[in-house]
C-alpha cells in the first residue's frame, strides 16, 4: 500500500469514529525542539533516569535533580507548539468526545488549544511539595523558572559524572506551607500514575486510538493503546520509525508528526 492509500484508509476511520483517543509521546514535540528520551539525542541516551527521575535520586542528590529539571524548564521557554500539536487540537472540533492522553510534561498541547487533555506524567511547569505524595501537604505553585536557572544552565543537563563544570547552584526551594522541599510536578519512575484509571476507562470505550511519537516502552502508558485495541478500537501509529505499538496498529504512518498530522487530520472533513 502506498502512504497515500494508507493515509486515506486512516482518514476514513478518523472521519467515522466517535470516541477517539489521541495518545502522544515525546516525538510529537521533537519538532518544537524538546528532546525525546530514547532515540538519537534523547535524554536517556546520555543520562541515567535512575539518577535524575526517581524519588530515590531526589533524596540522594536533590541539587542534581533540581538542576536537571531547571535545565529542561529553561529549554522549554524557547519552545512553541508545532503543526502536529495544532492539528490534534483542531481534531477536537470535529470530535467533541475525543480525549488526548499525553505522556509529555511540556504543556505544548494545552498551549496549542487542546482542552480535553490528560497529562499522564504531570506538568513540568508546576512545583509541588514533596510531602504531597503521602497526603501531608497539598502545596503547589507555577514553577518560577527565572529564579532557578541562569543562562549558563542552558548549555546542557547538569552532570556529576564525568566531572564537568558544576551546574548552577540550584537547591530545591522550600514549601511555603510546611517547609518541605519543592519538586517538579511530574511522575517519576517507580511512582504511581494517578490518572491511569481514567485513561483505562477512556480506552475501554474508545473506538479509535491515534498513537503519535511514542516508543511505547513505558508502562502503564503503553497499555492505554493495548486496552483500547483489546476493546476493539482501530489503532493508527504515527512515528518516524516502528515502535513497540506498531505491532498492534492497523495502520502505520511513517514520518514526522508535524508533517503527517496536518495531512492526516487537516484533510479529514468534519463528520
Contact pick of 153, 167, 184, 213 for ligand OAD (by CB under 6 A): 213
Q: Are 21 and 210 in contact (CB under 8 A)?
A: yes
What end-to-end distance do the CA atoms of the chain give, in Å? 26
In the chain, DSSP finds a helix count (H) and a strand count (E) of: 11, 9
Hey, what's the torsion of the CAs at 225, 32, 50, 137, to 10 degrees? -80
Q: Hey, what's the cell of 111?
A: 498551549
> Is 257 or 268 the residue whose CB approaches ligand OAD more closely?
257
Q: Hey, what's the cell of 159?
A: 552532570
Q: Which part of the chain contacts ligand OAD (CB under 6 A), choosing from 106-114, 142-150, 177-185, 215-223? A: 215-223
Kindly state whether residue 55 participates in binding ligand OAD, applying the rule CB under 6 A.
no
Contact pick of 21, 23, 52, 53 for ligand OAD (by CB under 6 A): 53
User: Residues 85, 95, 109, 121: which is the catalytic one?
Assistant: 121
Kindly state whether residue 211 participates in binding ligand OAD, applying the rule CB under 6 A.
no
Kindly state whether residue 185 participates in binding ligand OAD, applying the rule CB under 6 A.
no
Kindly state whether residue 32 participates in binding ligand OAD, applying the rule CB under 6 A.
no
> Is 97 or 191 the residue whose CB approaches ligand OAD more closely?
191
Instruction: Please report how close the Cβ of residue 199 comes to ligand OAD at its closest, in angstroms.
Output: 13
Q: Are strands 20-24 and 99-102 parallel, antiparallel or unpaired?
A: parallel
Residue 21, H or E segment: strand 20-24
Kindly state whether residue 10 participates in binding ligand OAD, applying the rule CB under 6 A.
no
85 assigned to active site: no
Kindly state whether residue 268 participates in binding ligand OAD, applying the rule CB under 6 A.
no
CA distance 47 to 54: 13
Instruction: Please report how close the Cβ of residue 129 comes to ligand OAD at its closest, in angstroms.
Output: 19
CB-CB neighbours of 96 under 10 Å: 8
Beta strand segments in 114-257, E: 117-119, 122-129, 140-142, 182-186, 208-212, 234-239, 251-254
Contact pick of 32, 70, 114, 257 for ligand OAD (by CB under 6 A): 257
Contact pick of 37, 68, 69, 99 for ligand OAD (by CB under 6 A): 37
Kindly state whether residue 240 participates in binding ligand OAD, applying the rule CB under 6 A.
yes
Kindly state whether residue 65 participates in binding ligand OAD, applying the rule CB under 6 A.
no
Binding-site size, ligand OAD (CB under 6 A): 27
Contact pick of 67, 159, 214, 251 for ligand OAD (by CB under 6 A): 214
CA distance 131 to 126: 15
Backbone angles phi, psi at 270, to 5 degrees: -60, 145
Largest Cα–Cα distance of the chain, in whole Å?
Answer: 60
Catalytic residues: 121
Q: Which residues bind ligand OAD (CB under 6 A)?
A: 25-27, 30-31, 36-39, 42, 49, 53, 103, 121, 187, 213-215, 217-218, 238-241, 243, 256-257
Amino acid at each position: 500500500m502506498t502512504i497515500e492509500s494508507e493515509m486515506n484508509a486512516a482518514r476514513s476511520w478518523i472521519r467515522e469514529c466517535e470516541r477517539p483517543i489521541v495518545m502522544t509521546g515525546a516525538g510529537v514535540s521533537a519538532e518544537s525542539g524538546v528532546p525525546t528520551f530514547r532515540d538519537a539525542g534523547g535524554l536517556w541516551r546520555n543520562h541515567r533516569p535512575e539518577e535524575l527521575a526517581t524519588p530515590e535520586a531526589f533524596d540522594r542528590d536533590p541539587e542534581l535533580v533540581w538542576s536537571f529539571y531547571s535545565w529542561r524548564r529553561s529549554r522549554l521557554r524557547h519552545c512553541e507548539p508545532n503543526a502536529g500539536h495544532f492539528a490534534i487540537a483542531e481534531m477536537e472540533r470535529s470530535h467533541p468526545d475525543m480525549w488526548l492522553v499525553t505522556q509529555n510534561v511540556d504543556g505544548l498541547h494545552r498551549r496549542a488549544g487542546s482542552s480535553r487533555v490528560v497529562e499522564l506524567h504531570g506538568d513540568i511547569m508546576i512545583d509541588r511539595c514533596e510531602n504531597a505524595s503521602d497526603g501531608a501537604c497539598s502545596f503547589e505553585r507555577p514553577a518560577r523558572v527565572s529564579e532557578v536557572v541562569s543562562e549558563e544552565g542552558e548549555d546542557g543537563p547538569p552532570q556529576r559524572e564525568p566531572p564537568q563544570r558544576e551546574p548552577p547552584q540550584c537547591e530545591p526551594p522550600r514549601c511555603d506551607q510546611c517547609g518541605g522541599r519543592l519538586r517538579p510536578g511530574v511522575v517519576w519512575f517507580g511512582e504511581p500514575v494517578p490518572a491511569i484509571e481514567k485513561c483505562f476507562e477512556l480506552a475501554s470505550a474508545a473506538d479509535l486510538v491515534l498513537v503519535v511519537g511514542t516508543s511505547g516502552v513505558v508502562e502503564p502508558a503503553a497499555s492505554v493503546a493495548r486496552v483500547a485495541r483489546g476493546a476493539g478500537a482501530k489503532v493508527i501509529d504515527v512515528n518516524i520509525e516502528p515502535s513497540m505499538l506498531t505491532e498492534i496498529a492497523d495502520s502505520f504512518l511513517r514520518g514526522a508528526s508535524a508533517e503527517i498530522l496536518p495531512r492526516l487530520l487537516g484533510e479529514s472533513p468534519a463528520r
